[in-house]
């Protein structure tokens, strides 16, 4: 398994700019809400260039981001069941 690497240099500045905008918009939209939201931004090349890898930036820690992505994939593949899933632990209750 490939180890986590820094954001690809060619997209670092734009990803940080977009993340600040998303974070600010979420904070403003949810300032009177008890619910908090996290986000992840993924950027990847469309040209098929193998040297261009996917980069991500997230407002949550890596494990919570991975758990949310696994849930997203499972839902979209039709194999997710509501069973007390929590993104804090990634486990069912």
The string of pLDDT tens digits covering residues 44-81 is 888 877 777 888 999 999 999 999 999 899 888 888 77
- 29, 42: one domain: yes
- 46, 1: one domain: yes
Instruction: Please determine, for residue 17, whether its predicted confidence score (pLDDT) is greater than 80.
Output: yes
What pTM did the predictor assign? Answer: 0.70
57: exposed, middle or buried (C-beta count within 10 Å: 0-12, 13-18, 19+)? buried
Q: What is the 3-state secondary structure (H, E, C) of the chain?
A: CCCCCCCCHHHHHHHHHHHHHHHHHHHHHCCCCCCCCCCEEEECCCCCCCCCCCEEEECCCHHHHHHHHHHHHHHHCCCCCCCCCCCCCCCCC
Instruction: Please determine, for residue 29, whether its predicted confidence score (pLDDT) is greater than 90.
Output: yes
- 52, 67: one domain: no
Is 85:92 a contact under the CB 8 Å cutoff? Answer: yes
How does residue 4 score in pLDDT terms, banded at 50, 70 and 90? Answer: confident
Tally of domains within the chain: 2
- 52, 40: one domain: yes
- 52, 65: one domain: no
> Which domain, by its residues, includes 6?
1-59
Q: Give the distance from CA 5 to its chain's centroid.
A: 15
- 15, 45: one domain: yes
């Amino acid at each position: 398994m490939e180890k986590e690497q820094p954001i690809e240099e060619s997209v670092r500045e734009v990803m940080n700019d977009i993340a600040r905008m998303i974070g600010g918009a979420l904070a403003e939209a949810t300032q009177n809400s008890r619910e908090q939201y996290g986000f992840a931004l993924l950027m990847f090349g469309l040209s098929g260039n193998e040297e261009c890898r996917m980069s991500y930036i997230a407002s949550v820690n890596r494990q919570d981001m991975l758990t949310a992505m696994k849930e997203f994939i499972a839902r979209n593949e039709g194999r997710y069941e509501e069973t007390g899933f929590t993104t804090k632990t990634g486990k069912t209750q």
